[in-house]
Amino acid sequence: MRQLFHGELARLGGRLAGMCGLAAESMRLASRALLAVDLQLAERVLSDDAELDRSRSNCEAHAHTLLALQAPVANDLRTILVAVYCADKIERMGDLAAHIAATVRFNHPAPVVPPELECVFTELGEIAAGMADRIGEMIVTRGTDGFAELDRTDQAVDTLHARIMAMVTEPDWPYGTRSATSLALLSRFYERFADQAVSVARRLDFAATGRLPT
Amino acid sequence: MRQLFHGELARLGGRLAGMCGLAAESMRLASRALLAVDLQLAERVLSDDAELDRSRSNCEAHAHTLLALQAPVANDLRTILVAVYCADKIERMGDLAAHIAATVRFNHPAPVVPPELECVFTELGEIAAGMADRIGEMIVTRGTDGFAELDRTDQAVDTLHARIMAMVTEPDWPYGTRSATSLALLSRFYERFADQAVSVARRLDFAATGRLPT
């Protein structure tokens, strides 16, 4: 019975890790769509988002069933509650990737990112997708110091975000306010994506140790 | 025993409703700080945010204890999981109000909202704070159609958000790109605040009926 239950927990972890893979993929495609001004790719990110929404529903239903049928306590209860929390945050990561794609679609065929910001957005996209991959790995390996690692990565994201904000708010910004506001919001989508990944890592540490790192 | 448990559930609901009150108050004060360019008020919102963070922790710990000790099923299990979900979203509403206050502090003593947008932001602030109050009432009265109501209110918020975005992205926007990006982000904070309120109302309906409205 106990072994069966732990098999179910592992299956729930597998679902969550799968969600991380989807979020990472959405972020990669959305960033590529943004930089290549690729409408078809943007549309794909937008339509793929429904899969992540379904996965989150399935995770929740699975967790709910485990709670109702097994009435777990201590570590097991914590693990299931953390899974519900993480599913919500990973779904949100997908939403943020979809927001990037929607910005591409809204502005198409005009590019949103001017040449001097292409490198920064490329880097943001790679770091953000890498964070989603990383929390997927952490779910599987059940590490205990993911928060410290992702928090460091998040600081790099914050620095890039600040750099973009400084550039678009300079008085001599040459591309107009529509471009500036689009870029400010885009940059915030990346920053929030990274924030969600950090909050997932924090809860994974909590699941493993019973202490919420600060 | 059963009666005791339902007393605990009511107490958990009371905590959540209290969080809604705090979020509504933060939104009211942040909006007033924004429009009156009041640094002291902005600082107060920022420091008060810690109380909402603590309340959320307490809600989670309370829910966790009820799950571990009572092993609830069916409606009761659903109610507790919904409470955990809602505590997260209401805490986020407080964060968004704090982001508004931080924008005031960052720009002080310069005002962020130009005269022609004062009315729109005043309205946004009132609607958003009212949504927080409303979900607080719904938690207490346990209604079953809160989602439909808040979804309608959210459409009004989206319309105001779109109006702000249209104004700040016009080619002849007279206040520069720094002002435009600040206002775009501010407007998004209000919009996200309202989104969280809608997602809380949706889950409250789910707690009451077992069906998640779409």
What is the C-alpha separation between A150 and A11, in angstroms, rounded? Answer: 24
- Per-residue pLDDT at A2: 77
Query: Which chain A residue's Cα is nearest to B175?
Result: A177
Work out the pLDDT band at B113, boundaries 50, 70, 90.
very high
Token pair 């809160």 in the structure block, residue:
B146
- Chain B residues in contact with A178 (beta carbon < 8 A): 169, 171
DSSP string, A127-185: HHHHHHHHHHHHHHHT-S-HHHHHHHHHHHHHHHHHHHHHHHTSTT-TTHHHHHHHHHH
SS3 content of chain A, % helix, strand, coil (to 5): 85, 0, 15
Query: Which chain B residue's Cα is nearest to A77?
Result: B68
Per-residue pLDDT tens digits for A42-85: 999 999 999 999 999 999 999 999 999 999 999 999 999 999 99
- Chain B residues in contact with A77 (beta carbon < 8 A): 64, 67-68
Query: Which chain A residue's Cα is nearest to B87?
Result: A85
- Per-residue pLDDT at B142: 87
Q: Minimal Cα–Cα distance from A41 to chain B, Å?
A: 25
A4 and B CB contact within 8 Å: no
CB contact under 8 Å between A169 and B185, yes or no, is no
Per-residue pLDDT tens digits for B92-112: 999 999 999 999 999 999 999
Q: Testing the interface with B: which of A181, A192, A202 to mutate, by most B Cβ within 10 A? A: A181
Distances (CA, A) of B191 to A154, B156, B162: 24, 10, 10
Q: Minimal Cα–Cα distance from B117 to chain A, Å?
A: 16
- In sequence order, which residues have a C-beta less than 8 Å from that of residue A186 and are 6 or more positions away? A34, A100, A103, A112, A113, A121
CB contact under 8 Å between A84 and B88, yes or no, is no
Name residue A158's amino acid.
D
- Per-residue pLDDT at B8: 95
Q: H or E segment at B146?
A: helix B146-168
What is the C-alpha separation between A75 and B74, in angstroms, rounded? Answer: 22
Out of B67, B81, B177, whose CB is closest to A180?
B177
Q: Minimal Cα–Cα distance from B68 to chain A, Å?
A: 5
Query: Which chain B residue's Cα is nearest to A61?
Result: B78
CB contact under 8 Å between A74 and B68, yes or no, is yes
Give the HSE-up count for residue B169: Cα atoms under 13 Å, Cβ half-sphere. 18
Q: H or E segment at B182?
A: helix B176-209
Work out the pLDDT band at B145, boundaries 50, 70, 90.
confident
List all residues of chain A from 171 to 200 with a beta carbon under 8 Å from chain B: 171, 173, 176-178, 180-182, 184-185, 188
Instruction: Report the b/e string of A86-99 with b at 16+ CB within 10 A.
Output: bbbbbbbbbbbbbb
- Per-residue pLDDT at A214: 85
What is the C-alpha separation between A98 and A86, in angstroms, rounded? Answer: 18
Q: How many CB pairs under 8 A join A and B?
A: 70
Predicted confidence (pLDDT) at residue B1 exceeds the cutoff of 80? no
Query: Which chain A residue's Cα is nearest to B76?
Result: A68
Out of A81, A84, A178, whose CB is closest to B169?
A178
Closest CA to B60 of B88, B84, B24, B37: B84
- Per-residue pLDDT at B150: 98
Q: Minimal Cα–Cα distance from B170 to chain A, Å?
A: 7
Q: Minimal Cα–Cα distance from A172 to chain B, Å?
A: 9
Query: Which chain B residue's Cα is nearest to A85?
Result: B85
- Per-residue pLDDT at A150: 98
Question: What is the percentage of chain A residues whose pLDDT exceeds 90?
Answer: 94
Work out the pLDDT band at B143, boundaries 50, 70, 90.
confident
Positions in chain A whose pLDDT score sits under 50: none
Work out the pLDDT band at B204, boundaries 50, 70, 90.
very high
What is the C-alpha separation between A1 and A5, in angstroms, rounded? Answer: 6
- Chain A residues in contact with B173 (beta carbon < 8 A): 177
Per-residue pLDDT tens digits for B43-70: 999 999 999 999 999 999 999 999 999 9
Instruction: Report the b/e string of B140-151 with b at 16+ CB within 10 A.
Output: eeebbebbebbe
Distances (CA, A) of A41 to A31, A113, B162, B172: 10, 16, 26, 33
- Per-residue pLDDT at A3: 85
Query: Which chain A residue's Cα is nearest to B186?
Result: A185
- Per-residue pLDDT at B18: 98
Average pLDDT in the B151-178 region? 96
Question: What is the percentage of chain B residues whose pLDDT exceeds 90?
Answer: 94
What is the C-alpha separation between A62 and B152, in angstroms, rounded? Answer: 31
- Chain B residues in contact with A84 (beta carbon < 8 A): 81, 84-85
Three-state DSSP state, A110? coil
Out of B78, B81, B180, whose CB is closest to A181?
B180
Out of A77, A84, A165, whose CB is closest to B68?
A77
Predicted confidence (pLDDT) at residue B2 exceeds the cutoff of 80? no
- Chain A residues in contact with B166 (beta carbon < 8 A): none
Ramachandran area for residue A167 (φ above 0: left; ψ -120 to 50: alpha; else beta)? alpha
Quote the tokens at residue A118. Answer: 């292409």
Name residue B56's amino acid.
R
